[in-house]
Amino acid sequence: MRIKTAAQYEEWYKNAKENPEDFWGEMAQNFSWRRRWEKVQEGDFNSLDIKWFQAGQLNITENCLDRHLKDKADQVAVIFEANDPNEPARNITYKELFEKVCKMANVLKNHGVQKGDRVCLYMGMIPELLISVLACARIGAVHSVVFGGFSNQSLAMRINDCGAKLLITCDGSPRGKKQVLLKDIADSALKDCPNVENVLVFKRIEIEVAMKEGRDHWANPLIDEASSECAPEIMDAEDPLFILYSSGSTGKPKGLMHTCGGYMVWAGFTFNNVFQMEKDDIFWCTADIGWITGHSYIAYGPLLNGATQVMFEGIPTYPDPGRFWKVIDKYKVTHFYTAPTAIRHLEGFGLEYVNKRDLSSLKVLGSVGEPINEEAWNWYSKHIGNGKCPIVDTWWQTETGGIMISALAGVTKDKATYTTKPLPGVIMSLVDHEGKELEGENEGNLCIKKPWPGIARTIWGNPERYKETYFSTYPGLYFTGDGAKRDSEGNFRITGRVDDLINVSGHLLGTAEIEDALNQHKEVVESAVVGYPHNIKGSGIYAYVILDQNQEHENPEDLNKELSNMVGTILGPICKPDKIQIVPALPKTRSGKIMRRILRKVASNKFDDLGDTSTLLNPEVVDELIKHKI
Ligand code: WTA
C-alpha cells in the first residue's frame, strides 16, 4: 500500500494530520507483529514520554527477512561491489542473508550477548557489516555502528558511552588505494574500554593483526560453524533497536536511541513512498552504514520492502572518477541515492566519465545530507538522469530516523534546490527567533510540531540533554537546528544549520569537539572553529588558533600540518580543518563570549557584512583577522 498520485498524497497527509491514530494503525499493518499494539501513540513534546505502538511486539528482522522467504527466497537482496573493481560481485539472496544473519546471531549468543546488551560495530562496508547489524537485531542486542573513518579515541568514547560489551570489527578495510587498519585502531581504542569482553574480527584484507588471547576471535570460521537456526527475540515496540552517535554543538557526541516498532514503521513507510520501487528495480544508496542514511536506506528500509540493492565498499573516485557511473551501468541500477558533495565532486571531472557509460536504467535520483545547490541539481538531473528522472531531495536527520521532507518519486513534483513537502505525519513549522509561528511564504527556523513514529526517543544515558538540545529552544516544539525557506506552494528549501554544527560533505561535525582537539596541542591556548562555504564539501572547516606567547614556535607550515594531523588522530580524518589561521586574539563580547558570527563572516570573505563590531571588547582584532585571512 503506497501513495500513487499527488491527490492521494494530499489525502494521506490530511488523514495523518487529523487522525494520526487511525492512519498509523493502518500503516503498521503492513508489517508483521507478534502481538498487536494497544495504543498507537502516546506522549507529546511537553511530556517527552513519546511512545508508539505500545504493547505491540515484533522483531524487525522477521520483517526484513523471514517474511520474504515465502516468495522472495531466491531473489537477490544484496549485490556487493567491492572496492577493487576486479573483485567479482557477491550476490546474496534473501534466503542466504537470512541464514547468515541467524548464524551470526548464534555467534553473538555464544559469546554471551543477550537481549538489551550493547554491541559496537567498527567495520568497512562489507556484507558482514549488514549481517552483523541484523544479527544484533535478531537477538535483541542494541547495535551501535561507528563509522570506520573515526579515530581510536572517538571509537573508545562511543564504546564506553553506550557500555558495549562486545566489538565487531575487521582486520582492515580497503578504501581506494589505501587501507584503513581497523583492528589496529580498535586495539588502541580498547585499551580504554575495560568493559569489552569479546572482539569478533572479520578477515577482509588479509593482513597480520594482533589477536589478544581470550578476547579476540576470528569471526568467519565461527559463522561457518554456527547453526543457521535462530528464533527471533520478541521485542516490545519501545525496546531499543540501536544507538547512533551524532555530533553535538557542545560536549561529546550524542547517542541517539531508536526503538524497534516506530523506527521499523518509519524506515519501511518512507522507503516505500519516497522511492516508489517496482518489481525488478535495483536500489543503490552510496552512504556508509556508519551513518543514519546507511541504517535506514541500506540496512533496514530496502529489506523491509523486499528490494534488491547494491552495497558498495569503495569510494567514488577509485580507480577513477567514473566508478559510480560504471557500477550503475554494470548492475542496471534504477534508483540511485547519493549526497550533493559527491555530485559536485564528480561534476568537477567533466562529462568524459559519465558519457562512457549507459545510464539509461536510471528511473529515480535521490539526494541527502546537505542542501543541494542549483548547479549540482541541474547537472545531476541533466547528465545523470538524462532529464527524465525525478529527483527526490530528502531532508531528514539522525534524530528523525527516516526521511521527513521529500518529493515522492514520480508522484509529487520536485523542484530544484527545494526538498519540497513533508511526508504524511510530519507537521512542520517555521518560527522566528521568539518561537512565533510564521505563515505562508517565509523564512525562519525549522521545527516539528508533533511526534512521528521514527523520532529518536532519547539520548542514551542523558535524557536531560535530549530535552535541552531539541525541546528547550521553543517549548512544545522539536527544533531541528536548521533554517529554512517556504515558498507560496508550501515547498521547503533548507538554508543550512543555524547552530554550531558544520555540515562537511554531508557529515555533521561539532565545532566544540574540533576546538577541544586543537586545544590539546601544547602550543595552543585557545581556538575557535567555524564553517565557511566550500565548493565541493558544502562547508569547510576554518580554525582560528591562538598560540602561547611564552613558547618558541616551529615554522607555521609545520605547525599547521601538525595541528591538522592532531585533529585527525584525535577525532578522525574527516574532522581535519581545511584552513588554520594563527591569530593574536579572538573577537569577544564584553562578557568574554567569542563572537562566532564575525568569525564566520571573515572565514566566508564577507568583510563588508560584519555588522556592529563596536560592542566588542577588542574591536581592533577584527582588522587583524581580515588582514591575515587565509
Ligand atoms: C542536513 C543525515 C538540506 C540538515 C540524513 C540536517 C539536509 C542534517 C538534507 C542532518 C537535505 C540532511 N537538504 N540539508 N536534503 N538532508 N540535511 O543527522 O542540516 O547526519 O539537520 O542526517 O543534515 O544530518 P544527519
Residue 250 confidence class, pLDDT cut points 50, 70, 90: confident
396 lines ligand 1 (CB under 6 A): yes
Distance between Cα 371 and ligand 1 center (Å):
8
Biggest distance spanned by C-alpha atoms of the chain? 73
The mean pLDDT value of the chain amounts to: 96
Question: How far, in Å, CA of 436 to CA of 186, rounded?
Answer: 48
Task: List the chain domain ranges.
Answer: 1-41+264-453+480-499, 501-627
503 lines ligand 1 (CB under 6 A): yes
Closest among 216, 218, 283, 258 to 76, alpha carbons compared: 283
Task: Give residue 550's pLDDT band: very low, low, confident or very high (50, 70, 90).
Answer: confident
CATH class for the region spanning 501-627: alpha beta
What percent of the chain is predicted at pLDDT more than 70? 100
Using pLDDT thresholds of 50, 70 and 90, give the confidence band for residue 229: very high
Given this model, what pLDDT does residue 422 score?
A: 98
Query: Is residue 294's pLDDT more than 90?
Result: yes
* Ligand 1 lined by 292 (C-beta under 6 Å): yes
CB 321 within 8 A of CB 291: no
Among 395, 459, 473, 504, residue to substitute to test ligand 1 (most atoms within 8 Å of Cβ): 395
**Cβ 134 under 6 angstroms from ligand 1:** no
How remote is the CA of residue 259 from the centroid of ligand 1, in Å? Answer: 21
pLDDT above 80 for 554? no
Per-residue pLDDT, 623: 92
Q: What is the pLDDT of residues 491-524, one digit of tens each?
A: 999 999 998 899 999 999 999 999 999 999 999 9
Pairing of strands 507-510, 501-504: antiparallel
Confidence label for 195 from pLDDT (cuts 50, 70 and 90): very high
Q: pLDDT tens digits for 15-55?
A: 999 999 999 999 999 999 999 999 999 999 999 999 999 99
Q: Compute the distance between CA of residue 296 and CA of residue 300 in angstroms, rounded to an integer.
A: 5
Q: What is the pLDDT of residue 249?
A: 83
Average pLDDT over residues 54-80: 98
Please tell me the pTM assigned to this model. Answer: 0.95
Counting ligand 1 atoms within 8 A of each CB, the residue from 370, 459, 537 with the most, and so the one to mutate, is 370
Quick check: 345 pLDDT over 90? Answer: yes
pLDDT band at 339 (very low <50, low <70, confident <90, very high): very high
> Per-residue pLDDT for 444 more than 90?
yes
State mean pLDDT over 267-285: 98
Q: What sign has the CA pseudo-torsion 271, 49, 254, 245?
A: negative
| pLDDT grade for 612, boundaries at 50, 70 and 90 | confident
Assigned CATH class of 1-41+264-453+480-499: alpha beta
Ligand 1: atom nearest CA of 405 is 15
Q: Distance from the CA of 546 to the center of ligand 1, in angstroms?
A: 32
pLDDT per residue as tens digits for the range 558-611: 999 999 999 999 999 999 999 999 999 999 988 778 888 899 999 999 998 888
Question: Residue whose CA is closest, atom 14 of ligand 1?
Answer: 370
pLDDT(230) > 80:
yes
What is the distance between the alpha carbons of residues 89 and 470, in angstroms, rounded to a whole number?
A: 43
Handedness of CA 33, 36, 40, 42 (dihedral sign): negative
pLDDT at 92 exceeding the cut of 80: yes
| Average pLDDT rounded to a whole number, residues 210-231 | 98
CA 112 to ligand 1 center in whole angstroms: 37
Return d(Cα 464, Cα 469) in angstroms, integer: 9
Q: Is the dihedral of CA 50, 53, 58, 63 positive or negative?
A: negative
Residue-wise pLDDT tens digits, 517-534: 999 999 999 999 999 999
Q: Is the CB of 395 under 6 A from ligand 1?
A: yes
What percent of the chain clears pLDDT 90, i.e. is strictly above it?
93
Same fold flag, 1-41+264-453+480-499 and 501-627: no
Q: How far is the CA of 98 from the centre of ligand 1 (A)?
A: 32
Residue 613 has pLDDT above 90, yes or no: no
Q: Which numbered atom of ligand 1 lies nearest the CA of 291?
A: 20
Please state, in angstroms and as integers, the Cα–Cα distance from residue 40 to each residue in 19, 182, 428, 570, 619, following that order. Answer: 11, 42, 21, 44, 57
Q: What residue owns the CA closest to ligand 1's atom 23? A: 369
Residues 6 or more apart in contact with residue 83 via CB below 8 angstroms: 174, 175, 176, 313, 314, 315, 318
The CA distance from 406 to 423, in Å, is 7
Give the pLDDT of residue 609: 86
CA distance readout (Å), 352 to 186, 317, 329, 348: 40, 14, 15, 11
Atom of ligand 1 nearest to the CA of 367: 15
Q: Which sign does the torsion angle of CA 98, 104, 109, 115 carry? A: negative
In a 3-state reduction of DSSP, which class is residue 459?
A: strand
The band of 615, judged by pLDDT with boundaries at 50, 70 and 90, is confident
At residue 229, what is the residue type?
Answer: E
Q: Which residues touch 591 (CB under 8 Å, ≥6 apart)?
A: none
What pLDDT is recorded for position 424?
A: 98
Cβ of 371 below 6 Å from ligand 1: yes
Distances (CA, A) of 243 to 55, 75, 401: 22, 30, 11
370 lines ligand 1 (CB under 6 A): yes
